[in-house]
Structure 1
Amino acid sequence: MHNTIRKQLVERIDPGYQKFSSALIPNVDNILGVRMPELRQLAKEIAKGDWRAYLQTANDEYFEEVMLQGLVIGYVKADLEELLTYVAEFVPKIDNWSVCDSFCSGLKMTKKNKERVWSFLQSYLVSEKEYELRFGIVMLLIYYSEPDYVDRVIDLLDRVQHEGYYVKMAVAWALSICFVKLPDKTMNYLAGENSLDLFTYNKTLQKITESTRVEQDMKKLIRSMKKR
């Protein structure tokens, strides 16, 4: 099966897109150049068939082959515990922000299983591995930046101590999403005692000011909070 999947990927290569993607995703040199809509379409087709056999034998040589596995896991219909087993097997394959964030976006079963997935994520949120930690953080910002969870989310984000660039960027992104959705609670955190390093703190402020959902007066206030 994996040979036919690779053949389908190769048939969909767009050389111009390969250049574009490679520039966007540094440190990744195995991109074929297949656009995301094409990958999603292929993932949906696989998810309707014998997807378990596919996931057991799938190749990891190319960026798109890994991305495709993550997308398939998001599309399949299965028992939650079985799905979480596949999620746990996939996370160690993540080695860039693009696969991480697309994978997280696809795990929509989280919406109906908030508490179970929350407990599943906890080990990733204390991982020392950059992309395991980013996986946990991006899951928080997509599915848990809401009133019932925001206090716990901010508390977890505040405890993150990791020098990885893509971890710091994820924390800043997550806090900016919390601010957009729940400004009062997030402002109390940012203006009060917090454990953010200078880069992450200022990057959080920058991401808030870049949001189209924040008023100009508030952006002005946020800019004045920058630390030197």
Structure 2
Amino acid sequence: MTYTEIIQRLYDLEDKQKVKFKEKKFGIISNNALGIYHKDLKVIAKEIGSNNKLALQLFDSGIYEARLLCSKLFKPKDVSEEQMEKWVITFENWEICDSFCMGLFSKSEFAIPKIHEWSKRSSEFEKRAAFATLASYCMADKTSDNEVFQQFFTIIKQAAIDDRLYVKKAVNWALRNIGKRNKDLNRKAIEVANEILEFESKSAKWIAKNALTELQKEGIRMSDYPRSIYRVTDLNSSLKA
């Protein structure tokens, strides 16, 4: 499928009522949007397959949905720091922020340094990008030891007092996902959530209470990463029993 054919495909799916619906229902305010749902973009992305050249062309088109499509076509291993910076400063809502963070940034070799760097940004969606990338990185990195994830508790506590909706939701998301990697990080995340609960901040208290509700839930599902340690440990415990 050529660039021209993709753009035509997007215009064929144009529905301005969906633009209004997404704004009203999900708070997705976007410029130059056609009104195409994410599920429909996934279908197109699957048909095209990975293609860096097309992805860049689509992003530069300025069409909102074409930019979303870019996040699904570009190969994570090929993304550069320069390219990540070019994209992150354009994010205008949580949808496009999360699409790039989940599909690209969390799988990039630059994920960890960018999480730290962006957590200090003032722009709402650049700062959200730090924690959306972190939340996704918890699932993307299946092999790292717990120390890699414990380092992020500091920036989570620092950002917990940010009362902007899309920042605090991402901070909460990141804390919960760290706590669902394995039983040891679960205990650590609960400790951190209880520390945050003591902050004199409505945002911090919401983040902490919401995280504690999930992390202390009976039967919470753990990823058991890294499985070379946690799956073996659980298996050995079962055999001894």
Q: TM-score under structure 2 normalisation?
A: 0.69
Question: Of the candidates 202, 207, 221, which is equivalent to residue 198 of structure 1?
Answer: 202
| Contact residue 169 and residue 200 of structure 1 kept, 8 A | no
**Alignment gaps of 5+ in structure 1:** 217-228
The one-letter code of the counterpart of 1:186 is A
Q: 1:83 to 1:71 in 2, by over 3 A?
A: farther
Matched with 2:126 is: 132
Q: 1:85 to 1:47 in 2, by over 3 A?
A: farther
Deviation at 1:191, TM superposition (A): 2.3
Matched with 1:95 is: 92
**Alignment gaps of 5+ in structure 2:** 140-144, 220-241
| Contact residue 95 and residue 131 of structure 1 kept, 8 A | yes
| Contact residue 10 and residue 32 of structure 1 kept, 8 A | yes
Number of equivalences: 208
C-alpha separation between the residues in 2 aligned to 1:139 and 1:10? 30
Question: Of the candidates 178, 182, 187, which is equivalent to residue 190 of structure 2?
Answer: 187
Q: Does 1:42 align with 2:47?
A: no
Matched with 1:224 is: none
- 1:49-80 per-position Cα deviation (integer Å, ceiling 9, x unaligned): 5x32651574454431221222222xx3754x
Alignment of 1:1-40 (within 5 A): 3-13=4-14, 17-23=18-24, 24-28=26-30, 30-40=32-42
Deviation at 1:126, TM superposition (A): 1.1
C-alpha separation between the residues in 1 aligned to 2:13 and 2:158? 43
C-alpha separation between the residues in 2 aligned to 1:17 and 1:213? 38
| Contact residue 131 and residue 173 of structure 2 kept, 8 A | no
C-alpha separation between the residues in 2 aligned to 1:72 and 1:208? 36
Matched with 2:137 is: 143
C-alpha separation between the residues in 1 aligned to 2:191 and 2:170? 20
The one-letter code of the counterpart of 1:72 is L
- 1:28-55 per-position Cα deviation (integer Å, ceiling 9, x unaligned): 3643221223312333555545x32651
Q: TM-score under structure 1 normalisation?
A: 0.72
- 1:53-111 per-position Cα deviation (integer Å, ceiling 9, x unaligned): 651574454431221222222xx3754xx444322221111110011112111127727
C-alpha separation between the residues in 1 aligned to 2:46 and 2:121? 31
Percent identity, please.
22
RMSD between superposed Cα atoms in Å: 3.4
The one-letter code of the counterpart of 1:107 is L
The one-letter code of the counterpart of 1:40 is K
Matched with 2:238 is: none
Q: 1:13 to 1:207 in 2, by over 3 A?
A: farther
